Structure 1
Amino acid sequence: MRILFSGVPAFGHLLPFAPLARAARAAGHDVALLTSGGMAPALAADLPGVPVLPAGPMPDVLFAEVGRRTGVADAAGEPDPRAVAEFFAGARVDLTADEALAAARDWAPDLMVCEATDFVGPLVAAVLGVPWHVLAVGPGVPPEFTAPMTALVTSRYADRGVTPTAPASYVDPVPAALQTPGFVPPARRLPVRAEAHQRPGSPAPADAVRAGRPRVLVTLGTVFTEGDLLAGIVGALDTEQVDVVATLGVMGLTAPETPGVTYRTFAPLAELLAGVDVVVCAGGSGTMLGALSRSIPLVVLPQGADQPLNAARAQAAGVAVVVSDPREAGAATRLVLTDPSYGAAAARLAGEIAAQPSPADVVATLTADRATAGAPAGR
């Protein structure tokens, strides 16, 4: 069967496809990814053998267009609902849909899996008449954001004479304790086991933890890593008491000389979590779910996008301390290390995550459903 994944051109939106894509390929299915061609080189190591069907511009072009249309200068750092809707459901659809339709029509998928903020893939699925599924990458987006996006993309469908189709399922890696209160999935929920991102064939990292000292990972993800912010967090940590590993982001910040701190360039989260006792992060969904899948509690300093929502849910679940200033990171980390309730809550969530169906199980369900419905002739 031919499975086409479709998502917004950003690591946090595309890397969650990796476990499903690997499972699909292992089961003998053909797999491709529909997104901006600019993501292809960066994803080559994470999705080996998965071709990228290039469609639409990269985020910098989209954000510039959003600013032109809305006057919001920083739609990522200041998630105004109108600007967010314009990014995902307006500008991206306008600048991507035609290329996406042409590429997908040529590739001829049997089914599609679209991440939850992708509005291009569902349009393609409707036009091609193939079933599609939603992949959640984090807690459900609140109505104040989904309503403007839905209204905007509805007009795009109408302009093209396309009748939208409902998703067949909602593939959800989020444990109940982290889910947005009152959230109702748009289709039947298929739970899937969350995993810390890892690359195929990556060797197990060496354990660099010094005996008797806790280890703290500081990572701000793939969007919000900024030198002064990272330095402020690292400077607040007591490197006489803890070992610190700090990531330099995908843009490769220059590592300063900081005693007691090991700096790492971008690497899969699974490699960074070995021996870690606390993760200090901005609250991206991938980091949050990956750390909790390993029973590791959090200190969260949200910066934008979905991070305030994720931080609030993690705090409510008892697995995180949320701070608003990097200078608070040291005290918050000490609290998480010394109060056993945070580790215990993280361990409970890790157990819940581990009990969910594997990506291979979910792929088997999706393809069995498609086979039952009847794939197009000749596939």
Structure 2
Amino acid sequence: MRFLLVVPPLAGHVAPLRGVAAALVRRGHSVAWCGPCPELSTLVSGRVFPAGDSGPFAVALRPPGLRGFAALKYLWESYLVPLADAMVPGVAAAVTAFAPDVVVVDQQAMAGALVAARCGLPWATSASTSTELADPLGALPKIASWVAQLQAGLRARHGVVVGDLRFSPHLVLAFTTRALAGDSRWPVAYVGPVPAPAAGEWSPVDDRPLVVVTLGTSNAAAGGRFLAESLDALAAMPAVQGLVVDPSGALVSGTVGLARRIPQVAVFARASVVVCHGGHNTVCEALAAGVPLVVAPIRDDQSMLAQQVVAAGAGVRLRFDRAKAADIRTAIESAPDFADGAARIRESFEAAGGAEEAATRLESLANP
């Protein structure tokens, strides 16, 4: 069977599908990718069909201070909708050339849904994060209506009659578990996260409990103050071994470990507490290791992920823009109280099946 994976050029969205693609290939299927190039070609291996140019619509161009509705408005009007329009011709060409049995569509690559629906192909949604599963706009009908109108415009421009482009009527793969994300208003297959292979090894300096602080590489500009406060918090905690990930290299410390980047899976396997921004991959990689979290969300889906962590009893939440060293220290000291909750989430991840379960679901879609 042949599977076409349509994605935006965003590492966090591509990451879980890399493992699914590998599982499909191991089972003897053909897999190809489709998305904006050359960016996508740097994120995946194998056959890649170009679709659109993400340059004019890059998320990285978003003003860093946007929050709330302003951030949502930018995401839809300046990224999701124009990216979908730009990608449709390339996705259509890929479908013609590759002749897939199933199209797998990331929620932020709606061109895949438009083309699959227009061609009458079965398609599956890849929900790389749980943001949309809980209907975040359910209590905001005017904003929900505005999003619906933007989607209606997309469908009209491309001659498609289908429902919400973010949710396939055939299959929605959610790379989380009900234990963390809760119930969804949509029928979804909770397959759990698909962890990246460990990239490198890492050993702690000593036997003290390890506390890791990371905000992800894309938040370096916004995270300087929080990282500095975290450094001060850890410097005042001699009973723990601190490691602060500072992509800028601007921080200096004689007592707390600093790194521009880390082999995250390997480091989290040794950690006692992870302090992070609430990015889906970081949260899942920490909880996959059974490590309780201190979450300081910055924007986008991170606030929802932080709430899920708290509701699951797997960690504590901080205000990113207000937390001082004393607040961060208190949160770190309380985080071990949530170890049992983190262990429960780890067990749910292990039981969900990950890439192999996702591959099985996709095979069933190709052979109903």
What range describes the TM-score normalised by the shorter chain of this pair? Answer: 0.7 to 0.9
Deviation of 1:358 after TM superposition, in Å, equals 3.3
Deviations 1:37-68 (A, max 9, x none): 1323531xxx4x3333222223x52159998x
Normalising by structure 2, what TM-score? 0.84
Partner of 2:26 in structure 1? 26
Q: How big is the shift at 1:179?
A: 2.2
Does the CA-based 8 Å contact 2:9-2:39 persist in structure 1?
A: yes
Residue type matched to 1:170 in 2? V
Q: CA deviation at 1:279?
A: 1.1
Find the aligned partners of 1:93 and 1:75 in 2 and give their Cα distance: 25
3-state DSSP of counterpart to 2:53: coil
- Contact 2:103-2:122 at 8 Å conserved across structures: yes
Q: What's 1:10 paired with?
A: 10
Which moves more between the two structures, 120-129 or 34-43? 34-43
Whole-angstrom CA distance in 1 between matches of 2:210 and 2:60:
42
CA contact (8 A) 1:236 1:327 kept: no
Indicate if the aligned counterparts of 1:232 and 1:326 stay in contact, CA closer than 8 A: no
Aligned partner letter, 1:154: A
Deviations 1:129-171 (A, max 9, x none): 2111112222242124665433312211112222237431111
Partner secondary structure for residue 237 of structure 1: helix
The range that moved more, 121-130 or 163-172, is 163-172
Q: 1:95 aligns with which of 83, 86, 89?
A: 86
SS in 2 for 1:52: strand
Q: 302, 309, 325: which is aligned to 1:307?
A: 302
| C-alpha distance 36-298 of structure 1, shift in aligned 2 (>3 A) | same
Does the CA-based 8 Å contact 1:113-1:133 persist in structure 2? yes
Aligned to 2:56: 61
Match of 1:231, as an amino acid? A
Q: 2:154 aligns with which of 153, 156, 167?
A: 156
Distance 1:217 1:76 in 2: 27
Equivalent residues of 1:88, 1:149 under 8 A apart: no
- Matches of residues 97-246 of structure 1 in structure 2 within 5 Å? 97-141=88-132, 142-143=136-137, 144=140, 147-164=145-162, 166-179=168-181, 183-185=184-186, 188-198=187-197, 202-203=199-200, 205-211=201-207, 213-226=208-221, 228-229=224-225, 230-238=227-235, 240-246=238-244
C-alpha distance 247-198 of structure 1, shift in aligned 2 (>3 A):
farther
Contact 2:2/2:101 (8 A) holds in 1: yes
- The amino acid that maps onto 1:183 is S
Quote the Cα distance in structure 2 between the aligned partners of 1:358 and 1:262: 33
Residue number among 40, 61, 73 corresponding to 1:82 in the alignment: 73
1:185-219 Cα shifts (integer Å, max 9, x gaps): 2xx422213243326xx45x1322411x1112222
CA distance, structure 2, for counterparts of residue 283 and residue 189 of structure 1: 22
Q: Deviations over 1:239-276 (max 9, x none)?
A: 63322233345xxx235432234344445531331301
SS of the equivalent of 1:28 reads coil
Contact kept, 8 Å, 1:299 with 1:333, in 2: the verdict is no
Instruction: Map Cα deviations across residues 8-39 of structure 1 (whole Å, 9 max, x no partner).
Output: 22112111212211111111211122221132
The 1:64/1:282 distance shift into structure 2, 3 A limit, reads closer
Kindly state the Cα deviation for residue 78 of structure 1 after the two structures are TM-superposed: 5.0
Q: Report the Cα distance in structure 2 between the residues aligned to 1:272 and 1:321, rounded to whole angstroms.
A: 20
SS in 1 for 2:173: strand
Aligned equivalents of 2:127, 2:144: Cα separation in 1: 14
Aligned length: 352
Q: Report deviation, 1:359.
A: 1.4
**Partner Cα separation in structure 2 for residue 216 and residue 360 of structure 1:** 32
Q: Distance in 2 between matches of 1:147 and 1:74?
A: 26
In structure 2, what is the equivalent of residue 377 of structure 1?
none
Equivalent-residue separation in structure 2 for 1:133 and 1:368 (angstroms) = 11
Q: Against the structure 1 CA distance between its residues 312 and 147, is the aligned structure 2 distance closer, same or farther, given a 3 Å change threshold?
A: farther
SS at match of 1:236: helix
Question: Displacement of 1:90 after TM fit?
Answer: 1.7
Rounded Cα–Cα distance in structure 1 between residues aligned with 2:41 and 2:250: 24
Q: Does 1:362 align with 2:358?
A: yes
Cα separation, 2, equivalents of 1:362 and 1:133 = 10
Q: 2:273 maps to which residue?
A: 278
- TM score, norm. by length of structure 1: 0.82
Distance 1:160 1:34 in 2: 18
RMSD: 2.9
